[in-house]
Amino acid sequence: MDPVVQVDQAEQAAGQVRGDILVVEDTPASLQLLSRLLTDAGYRVREAPNGELALWSAQAQAPDLVLLDIRMPGIDGYEVCSRLKKMPGLDEVPVIFLSAHSDTDDKLRGFEVGGVDFISKPFQFEEVNARVMAHLKIRRLQQQLAAHNDLLQRESRLRLAEIAHMNRNASASVYCAALVHELNQPLAAIMSNAEAAELFMRMSPPALGEVAEILTDIQRDDRRASELIQRMRELLKKSDPVAQALDLNEAVRQMAALLGSEARMRKVLLETELAPQALTVSADPVQLQQILINLVLNGMDAMGQVVAEPAGGERSVTLCTRRGQAGPGSAGMAEVLVSDRGCGFGANQERLFESFFTTKAHGMGLGLSIAAAIVHAHGGRIWALDNPGGGATVGFALPLAQDREALENP
Ligand SMILES: Nc1ncnc2c1ncn2[C@@H]1O[C@H](COP(=O)(O)OP(=O)(O)OP(=O)(O)O)[C@@H](O)[C@H]1O
Ligand SMILES: [Mg+2]
């Protein structure tokens, strides 16, 4: 037996309504007959004697399917169908036309306005029932598929967020180590200032002017320490990205300062070459840090571990910023290039941006794919090239904020 019919009979046996059908027909006798046959077959039926009432009834409650006469006084079936297709929530409801004419032009017009099928009058009820059943089934399957797709999309977004957070924690641990190191400096300054203040207070008369100055310094250092802790918090917490106007030069400068101790430990020279003018982009600062950390760490990894003192300039990572160079897609962009003098990409070039592609014993293979996802979400581009003289460069470009504004409001 046809599986559709099988399922259908099972539904009927379970006493379930087979679907809510709106029948639109101006001839009272036809309307009543169709309505009775459909009700007997287990459908819930609503009747509408003309187009206006049909639209009103459909809007009040969306039916599962519409059987629609074409020739009616007032608005005809084509018009009813094309209006239904423009109404939110009703655009997907299948419409089957009932027509006394089986003219091809009539049918074409019906399909054009969004109908799914035709039944010629006078009709055989078996045919009506078979077509109604088939279209209800298709509609249900479409709905299930859409719900399933939705679920999959939600799940994959969630996973990406989890993975991005995992990578952030991994890069954050290096960053936090650097921040902790940085914290030493304001804390040490506060301590020595406090000791000095104590001495000034013991003098007779106490040197209150000096003490006041020292207190100002202590406050400044305390603020600096709080900022560092705040940054660590931001990096570790799971929060939605928020874009703000920021200067790429400043972001790169901060990152270089903070990764300085990590670089010294790995005996790598971390240098910056910043564009002379500010490069204002609209970006989430924490995500931007995440890109930069991943790229700098990759550059350092590419040069391996050294035990002996490095030879001058051989082990360096350079962070360079500039306005987009003339060329396709570069105008109105600001670029950051992270270059190293390591092993280069070689044969891995093709796979760098694949998630989970890694050549490192303890790598997750996520750094570059996450950097790429963030760059793309900001409307930018990212690329990777081997340097002619050895080593590799990963660059990314983000739209300059002023240029974007100028484009949007010329
Ligand atoms: N600067 C570079 N020089 C040479 N090879 C690189 C460089 N950057 C990335 N690669 C190659 O690309 C691979 C993928 O890099 P990616 O940052 O995505 O992951 P990973 O560094 O291996 O692990 P993690 O998830 O911890 O960052 C690396 O394993 C390495 O083989
Ligand atoms: Mg990496």
Map tokens 């099988």 to a residue: 6
Atom of ligand 1 nearest to the CA of 343: 4
**What per-residue confidence (pLDDT) applies to 27?**
93
Partners of 338 in the β-ladder: 319, 394
Best of 175, 340, 352 for a ligand 1 pocket test (most atoms within 8 Å of beta carbon): 352
**C-alpha 296 – ligand 2 centre gap (Å):** 9
Sign for the CA dihedral angle at 372, 378, 384, 389 comes to negative
Burial 328-343 (b: 16+ CB within 10 A, else e): eeeebbbbbbbbbbbb
* Whether 363 contacts 167, CB under 8 Å: no
**C-alpha 358 – ligand 1 centre gap (Å):** 6
- The sheet with strand 269-273 has its strands ordered as 269-273, 316-323, 333-340, 392-399, 381-386
**What per-residue confidence (pLDDT) applies to 115?**
95
**What per-residue confidence (pLDDT) applies to 392?**
96
Verify whether ligand 1 is closer than 6 Å to residue 310 (CB atom): no
Verify whether ligand 1 is closer than 6 Å to residue 340 (CB atom): yes
Atom of ligand 1 nearest to the CA of 391: 3
Verify whether ligand 1 is closer than 6 Å to residue 335 (CB atom): no
In this predicted structure, the answer to whether residue 388 has a pLDDT above a threshold of 50 is yes
Best of 165, 290, 293, 298 for a ligand 1 pocket test (most atoms within 8 Å of beta carbon): 298
**C-alpha 370 – ligand 2 centre gap (Å):** 10
For atom 12 of ligand 1, the residue with the nearest CA is 352
**What per-residue confidence (pLDDT) applies to 264?**
85
Rounded to an integer, the average pLDDT of 356-376 is 87
Give the residue range(s) of CATH 3.30.565.10 domains in the chain.
242-408
**C-alpha 359 – ligand 2 centre gap (Å):** 10
* Whether 121 contacts 99, CB under 8 Å: yes
Q: How far is CA 347 from the centre of its chain?
A: 31
Verify whether ligand 1 is closer than 6 Å to residue 290 (CB atom): no
Verify whether ligand 1 is closer than 6 Å to residue 360 (CB atom): yes
Cis preceding-peptide flag for 3 (omega within 30 of 0):
no
Taking alpha carbons only, the member of 16, 39, 276, 298 closest to residue 171 is 298
**Cα distance between residue 261 and residue 67, in whole Å:** 75
**C-alpha 306 – ligand 1 centre gap (Å):** 19
> 73 or 101: whose pLDDT is higher?
73
**C-alpha 198 – ligand 2 centre gap (Å):** 49
**Cα distance between residue 355 and residue 368, in whole Å:** 8
Give the residue range(s) of CATH 3.40.50.2300 domains in the chain.
3-123
Ligand 2 ion: Cβ-proximal residues, 5 Å cutoff: 298, 367
For atom 5 of ligand 1, the residue with the nearest CA is 345
Atom of ligand 1 nearest to the CA of 366: 25
CATH topology of domain 242-408: Heat Shock Protein 90 (3.30.565)
In this predicted structure, the answer to whether residue 357 has a pLDDT above a threshold of 50 is yes
Verify whether ligand 1 is closer than 6 Å to residue 68 (CB atom): no
Verify whether ligand 1 is closer than 6 Å to residue 249 (CB atom): no
Verify whether ligand 1 is closer than 6 Å to residue 97 (CB atom): no
Cis preceding-peptide flag for 28 (omega within 30 of 0):
no
Q: What is the pLDDT of residues 332-346, one digit of tens each?
A: 899 999 999 999 999
Taking alpha carbons only, the member of 57, 75, 70, 72 closest to residue 20 is 57
**C-alpha 326 – ligand 2 centre gap (Å):** 30
> Which residues, 6+ apart, have CB-to-CB distance to 338 below 8 Å?
292, 295, 296, 298, 299, 317, 318, 319, 320, 393, 394, 395
**What percent of the chain is modeled with pLDDT above 70?**
83
Taking alpha carbons only, the member of 19, 68, 73 closest to residue 48 is 68
Verify whether ligand 1 is closer than 6 Å to residue 342 (CB atom): yes
Q: What is the pLDDT of residues 237-286, one digit of tens each?
A: 666 678 899 999 999 998 888 788 788 888 999 999 999 999 999 998 88
Q: What is the pLDDT of residues 169-201, one digit of tens each?
A: 666 666 666 677 678 778 988 999 999 999 999
Q: What is the pLDDT of residues 131-152, one digit of tens each?
A: 999 999 999 998 898 888 888 8
Q: What is the pLDDT of residues 289-307, one digit of tens each?
A: 889 988 999 999 999 866 5
CATH topology of domain 3-123: Rossmann fold (3.40.50)
**What per-residue confidence (pLDDT) applies to 310?**
46
In this predicted structure, the answer to whether residue 360 has a pLDDT above a threshold of 50 is yes
Give the pair of three-digit tokens for residue 286. Answer: 């924490």
For atom 8 of ligand 1, the residue with the nearest CA is 298
For atom 27 of ligand 1, the residue with the nearest CA is 367
**Cα distance between residue 173 and residue 301, in whole Å:** 16
Which ligand lies nearest to the CA atom of residue 384 in the structure?
A: 1
Verify whether ligand 1 is closer than 6 Å to residue 57 (CB atom): no
Rounded to an integer, the average pLDDT of 70-77 is 93
Burial 267-300 (b: 16+ CB within 10 A, else e): ebebeeebbeeebbbbbbbbbbbbbbbbbbbbbb
Average pLDDT over all residues of the chain: 85
Sign for the CA dihedral angle at 318, 323, 326, 329 comes to positive
